[in-house]
């Protein structure tokens, strides 16, 4: 068991992170995630952020129906060193598939960004690319558009294609080319 007097390890693994949860050292009230081996505090959600997360989740649930599971604000097992909590994760399977584990693959991950924009671009994009997630959206509330990251290169930890989708356009999902959502439905 880790105590406050013990020096912190250089990097925390996914197993060590969940051990801290199991021991009660970390709780749901702590609002943290594991990024690149570092336990990072998440900023408190403002009302605008919360509602946009719901808008995006609703739009994706309507568009996808029962073809994939749309999760809101839950852990994603990206690697040994990272367990981010994306605002939205579109993952394969059904509800009961994740009773004993967090998903480790996704069709799409979405972050809603106001104050978290630098973290979402500089830290989370490489994590999601390394995990091989085919598509990552940043709903950029500062500039009122969606940043669309596609074609991950897991080795380079980057997305080869980054585009901006603006109001009036539609986004087809890479994993479901016959499914699209209106950018207007993702923005307040």
Q: How far apart are the C-alpha atoms of 49 and 56, rounded to whole Å?
A: 11
Tell me the average confidence (pLDDT) per consecutive run of 10 residues in the chain, 188 residues long. 60 93 89 94 90 97 96 94 97 87 95 93 97 98 97 98 98 97 97
Q: How far apart are the C-alpha atoms of 144 and 148, rounded to whole Å?
A: 13
The pTM for the full model equals 0.91
Is 21 inside any structural domain? no
Is 96 inside any structural domain? yes
Number of domains comprising the chain:
1
Is 181 inside any structural domain? yes
Is 1 inside any structural domain? no
* CATH value at residue 107: 3.90.1570.10
Residue range(s) defining the domain that contains residue 137: 45-185
User: Model confidence over 94-113: pLDDT tens digits?
Assistant: 878 888 889 999 999 999 99
């Amino acid at each position: 068991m880790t105590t406050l007097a013990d020096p912190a390890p250089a990097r925390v693994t996914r197993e060590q992170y969940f051990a801290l949860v199991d021991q009660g050292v970390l709780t749901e009230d702590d609002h943290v995630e594991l990024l690149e081996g570092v336990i990072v505090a998440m900023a408190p959600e403002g009302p605008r952020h919360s509602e946009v997360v719901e808008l995006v989740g609703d739009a994706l649930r309507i568009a996808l129906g029962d073809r994939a599971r749309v999760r809101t604000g839950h852990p994603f097992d990206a690697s040994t060193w990272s367990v981010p909590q994306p605002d939205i994760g579109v993952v394969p399977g059904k509800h009961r598939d994740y009773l004993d584990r967090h998903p480790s693959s996704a069709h799409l991950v979405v972050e809603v960004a106001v104050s978290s924009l630098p973290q979402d671009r500089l830290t989370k994009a490489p994590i999601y690319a390394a995990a091989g997630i085919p598509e990552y959206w940043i709903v950029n509330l500062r500039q009122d558009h969606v940043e669309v990251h596609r074609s991950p290169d897991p080795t380079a930890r980057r997305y080869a294609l980054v585009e901006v989708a603006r109001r009036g356009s539609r986004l087809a999902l890479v994993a479901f080319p016959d499914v699209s959502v209106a950018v207007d439905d993702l923005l307040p």
